[in-house]
Amino acid sequence: MRTMSIRRTVITLAAAAVLLAGCAGRGSGESVWQAPADNGVAALEPAQILERSKTALKGAKSYRIKGDVIADGKRMGLDLRISGDDVAGNISMDDASVELLSVGGKQYMRPDEKFWEQNVGAEAAEQMTKLMGDRWSVVPERNKDFADLFGVTNLDNLFEADGTVVKGETKDIGGAQAVALIDEGGKGGTLWVATIGEPYPVRVESKETGQGQITLNDFGTTFPQLKAPTEDQVVDLEKFKGK
């Protein structure tokens, strides 16, 4: 729970920086919002709440994460739909953006011109953007930097504390009651866990005001975006770059 995932999310998104040189709505996942019964987590110890929340998230199998953080003066955002190991969505930093898609063990990316420009230079970026059009690039297995972009979907770090975790208030978070778990470590933050229905983690807030937050919702949803592109929609990045 280092910065309750905010800090580690920043670190993961910082991989994109190297390459580049409120709980949000009800969504379409209804189970957590419609369950009428209190799930009892508000009465538990912090460690027990974390364990219950981790189990609930894994049980959901699919969910959406969305938000933004600020690191080194740069605002980085993400909007990703996740189902098991499959991912579809977007990561952005300042005015550069890249779409990500991981289906069936294969990873694809669709950067905009600004992404390429900050990665390979203006001239090459223009050429790659024109030649690729709206097609996807296969992410080379040996390119760790590009592959690391997908690391932000690893939410195991969400449940690891930087310091002592204490229980805070219970309040309405985007239309659902949730209890706060506050990491008192130097880089700590707050994780909000739903107290009605399944104890899903519904929001992560940075310790520092204005440094961003991430929301989770659409638990258990089937996402039509998680579909492998056809062959004519894909460019092999290695061949494309002439390597």
- What are the boundaries of each domain within the chain? 2-21+23-224
Burial class, 14, CB count within 10 angstroms (exposed 0-12 / middle 13-18 / buried 19+): middle
Top-level class of domain 2-21+23-224: mainly beta
Q: DSSP character for 38?
A: B
Q: Is 53 helix (H, G, I), strand (E, B) or coil?
A: helix
Residue 119 has pLDDT above 90, yes or no: no
Percentage of the chain modeled with pLDDT above 90: 46
Q: DSSP character for 140?
A: P
Residue 177 has pLDDT above 70, yes or no: yes
- What mean pLDDT is predicted for residues 140-161? 74
Residue 26 has pLDDT above 70, yes or no: no
Report angle CA 188, 193, 197 to the nearest 5 degrees: 175
> Minimal CA–CA distance to 132: which of 17, 229, 24?
229
**89 in Cβ contact with 103 (< 8 Å):** no
Residue-wise pLDDT for 73-97, tens only, equals 778 899 999 999 999 999 998 889 9
